[in-house]
Each structure stands twice: as C-alpha cells, then as structure tokens.
Amino acid sequence: MNRKETGAGRARLHRALGLRAAVALGVGGTIGGGIFVLVGHTAALAGPAALLAFALAFLASLLIALPYAELACRYPESGGGYAFAREVLGRRWGFLMGWVFWGAYLFISGYVTLGFGGYLGSLTGLPPAWGAIALVAACVAVNAAGVRLSGQMQVLVIGVALAGLLGFALAGLPSVQTHRFTPWMPNGASGMLSAALIAFLAFGGFDMVAAAGEEIERPERNLPLAILLTLAIVLVVYLLVAFAALGTLDWRLLGASAAPLADAAQAFMGSIGGRLVAGVAVLTTAATANAVLVVTSRISFAMARDGLLPAGLARVSPQTQAPWAAVLLSGALLALVALTATLRISTAIGGFLYVVHFIPPLLVLAKLRKSAGPAPAFRMPAPAILLPLAFLMALVLLVSSGPVGLAGGAAWMALGLLVAGARQGSERGGAA
C-alpha cells in the first residue's frame, strides 16, 4: 500500500501529482468559473473597465500568491493555508482558518456548478439544476477513484479548454470594434472596484495547489512553480478573452447574458461558434468543479485528521489512497449549494470568505519572518513592502463584498464557533 504513517499513526496521503498535474489543478480551478461565469458580471459592474478590474485582481492575487508560495514550501501538507495557520498560530486559529477556507469553496462552488448547468442547458435544454447535480455526482465518482486519475483528467480537460479559449480570442480579435470600449468606466470607480472583487474570485485557484501540497511530488520545487505558473497562464488567457468579448458584444448585453462568451462568439462566428464555445464552457466548468471538490475534501480531511472535525472524515481508502469519506461529505454539500444558492449569494458570501481565508497565512508569514530558522526553497522578495500591500489589498476586497457577503460570511464563521464549542464540550465529556 502507498499509505504512510507517522510515528503517531497519522495517515498520510501519497505524493502522486507532478508539476503538470499541479498546474492543471490550479488552472482548472481558476479559469472555469472566472471566464465563463463571472466575466459577464464584471462587465455589468464596470463596463469596458472590466479589463482594469481583472488587472487589479491579478495584482492582488500576485501579492498574496508570493507569501503563499513560500508558506507552501515550508509546510507542504494537505490543507494549504489551514496547515500554515495550524502549525504556527495553533489549533484554534487552525480550526478557524480551515472552517473559513472550507466554507469559501463550498459557496464558490455554487456559481461553478450552476454555470455548468446553464451552459449545458443551452446545448441540451436540460434544467440547470439537473446538470449541476449530475456534475457533482460525476466529480465524486472520479475523486473516489483516486487523485492520480483526477489529476490526469484535469490535464486532458484543461488542454482542450485552453485551446478553445485561445481559439475564441484569436477568432474574435479581427472583429473587435474599438468604439465598444467607450465610455471606458460607465459606472465610475466604485463599479470597477466592485468588479475587482468578482475578478479576484476569477483568479481563485492558485491556493488549490497548496491545499493539495501533501500529494505533490518534489514540493520544494513544484509548489511555488505551480502557483506562479497558474497565475501567469490565467492572466494572459483572461485579458485576451475579455478583450475579445468586450470588443465584439456591447458590455450591457454581455453583462445581462446567462452565457456571455457563447453570445459573444455567436456575434462574430454565428450559431456554430456559439455552440462550440458553450461546449468548451461545459468542459472547463466541469474541470473547475472537480478541482473545487479536491480542495474541499482535502481541507475537511486534514481537519478531521487533526481532531478538529469528526475522525470518520479522515478515512483513506487503502486501494485508491483517496479520502473517500471527506469526498462524499463535500460532494453532498456541493450538491446542496447548487440546489439552494443563487449566483449572487454564492459570489457574495464565497468572495467574503475567500478573502478572509488569506489573512491568517499572511499573519503566519509575518511571524515567521521575525524568527530565525532554516530558509525554505522559495522566499518572497521585498517582504517589508509586499506584505503590507497584501494586507491592504485584502481589506479593500473585504469592504467590496457588500452587506450580503459580510452578513453571510459572519454567519458561517459563527456556525464554525458553535461547531468548535460542541467539539470541545464532547472532548471534555469524554475525558471525564
């Protein structure tokens, strides 16, 4: 068996993901929801300045990715930011970090699975909710078979998706009309900043690589490379595709569309082009949902292994090396979100929690940089400048989440405190 144990009998996951599979996990978890589901929302809020919103979101992601890459080299374990906070700040911070991290991706999954259902419905007429549930079931089956199979499928699907997106951009560039970019910022700076939070969600995915760090080969090399390559690839694709979409379809129509890129493709390639783009969207959002299930199951697995969630969630199949119990629970929760949440609710609450979950890792790195210790394989440059900028950017994005995000995020964190209190009470009762 590939299962490993520490001296205390702690279950370990097998390192089965190489650099290509790790980048595919990050890119797959990033591009699907970002381009196909959220590009229309950024256009509705910012108009043509959605391009600027994507650039600002990339800057925020880069500022956070650099410390994340260093921490991932220091703690290449399952759970990503949760593992960082647990090791340095203690179990209470670890639980809070893990709970917020888990909740962020559970809510974010709503726009991914519903986006898949919408694009699938445009091709088949199937109700979006049915398509979303079918996708979750398929992802559960794939992940229960083991992370190696999941990683191999990511490589194949993302290769097709990238080819389709770049094909869309290259085909659309000759049809771009510059007058569509005026007025540049019709809703002012406030609209652009609101769009930047949604665009930041569209860049979410590089942290999925760190969350699966315990299953990545040569983590000291592959973790930072995979994180930074994910952001670089995504930036180029986003700018090309968004430029082509905004330049070929009026930003108001793009913002009101349920399938914005398919509608843009239809404007310059006809109905066949629209259906081709919808097909690529189906593949890409499916890959995103698979990546979301990977990260949500691994964080619940890591928390259960550390005694912060019920121990049954730490069960690993001896045949496939997959944390099957955590996969089943996360799959059930993804299905629940798909059935009950709206796009607005999932982006607002998921966005708030997603930004919050980056703050403890930044605190961790600030603390580690003040203490002496062995240098990791990767160190972020200019920490005295970049760390404060990362904190500032996170606060700006939190404020941009609005009242729905603030209220929903606070409610999820309050539920986490209740769960933590119940666990502590049961542990004291058992000890007595």
Is-contact 230 237, C-beta < 8 A? no
List, in order of start, the domains of the chain with CATH numbers. Answer: 16-372+385-426 (1.20.1740.10)
- Token code pair at residue 281: 């969207």
Range of lowest pLDDT (145-149, 170-174, 351-355): 145-149
Residue 141 CA to chain centroid, in angstroms? 20
Tell me which H or E stretch contains 4. Answer: strand 4-5
Phi-psi region of 43 (alpha: psi -120 to 50; beta: other; left: phi over 0): alpha
Taking only the tens place, the pLDDT of each residue in 278-334 is 888 888 888 888 878 888 888 888 888 877 787 788 887 777 667 888 888 988 999
pLDDT above 70 for 388: yes
Taking only the tens place, the pLDDT of each residue in 110-130 is 888 888 888 888 888 888 888
The torsion angles phi and psi of 7, rounded to 5 degrees, stand at -60, -25
Give bridge partners of residue 12 from the DSSP assignment.
4
pLDDT of amino acid 185: 92
Quote the mean pLDDT of the chain. Answer: 80
Categorize the per-residue pLDDT at 7 as very low, low, confident or very high, splitting at 50, 70 and 90: very low
Q: How far apart are CA 324 and CA 218, in angstroms?
A: 25
Taking only the tens place, the pLDDT of each residue in 222-235 is 777 887 888 888 88
The torsion angles phi and psi of 3, rounded to 5 degrees, stand at -65, 135
**Count of alpha carbons within 13 angstroms of residue 261, beta-carbon side:** 33
Give bridge partners of residue 313 from the DSSP assignment.
none
Range of lowest pLDDT (72-86, 111-125, 166-180, 396-410): 72-86
Categorize the per-residue pLDDT at 4 as very low, low, confident or very high, splitting at 50, 70 and 90: very low
The percent of residues above 70 in pLDDT, for the chain, comes to: 84
Q: How far apart are CA 58 and CA 283, in angstroms?
A: 24
Range of lowest pLDDT (29-43, 293-307, 332-346): 29-43
Whether cis (ω within 30° of 0) applies to the bond prior to 183 is yes
Give bridge partners of residue 4 from the DSSP assignment.
12
